[in-house]
Amino acid sequence: QVQVAESGGGLVQSGGSLRLSCAASGRTFSGYTVAWFRQAPGTEREVVSYINWSGRITYYSESVKGRFTISRGNNRNTVYLQMNSLKPEDTGVYYCAARYGIGTTVVAEYDYWGQGTQVTVSS
């Protein structure tokens, strides 16, 4: 029903910035929480950030707090993740995910997933 697709990944040097985008199609994100997860090789998928429908509630993992900013576009169907001061440990596949209702850091609670976009931070 709802499809999400990520874009904006790439290769960046340590200390650089990238902005990831998550766009919905098929249905709107009305009432949905949108989250970003990432997965490095050999590791479990972990939450990075999430934002609720209004944008008033946001969450950041401790490792990215102060460096990353999540936001919604004007049409509410696009969510951005601005990543600044990138570190090599930020490297991984970044996934956009959505669920109806309040935010959670639990992977299994999200119903809709993008295919991921690779972020590589070189040292």
Q: In angstroms, what CA-CA distances link 18 with 42, 49, 94?
A: 23, 15, 12
At residue 27, the pLDDT reads 64
Give tens-digit pLDDT for 67-96: 999 998 887 789 999 999 999 999 999 999
Round to whole Å and give the CA distance between 85 and 118.
17
Range with lowest mean pLDDT among 3-7, 53-57, 69-73, 115-119: 53-57
What's the average model confidence in pLDDT over 21-31? Answer: 78
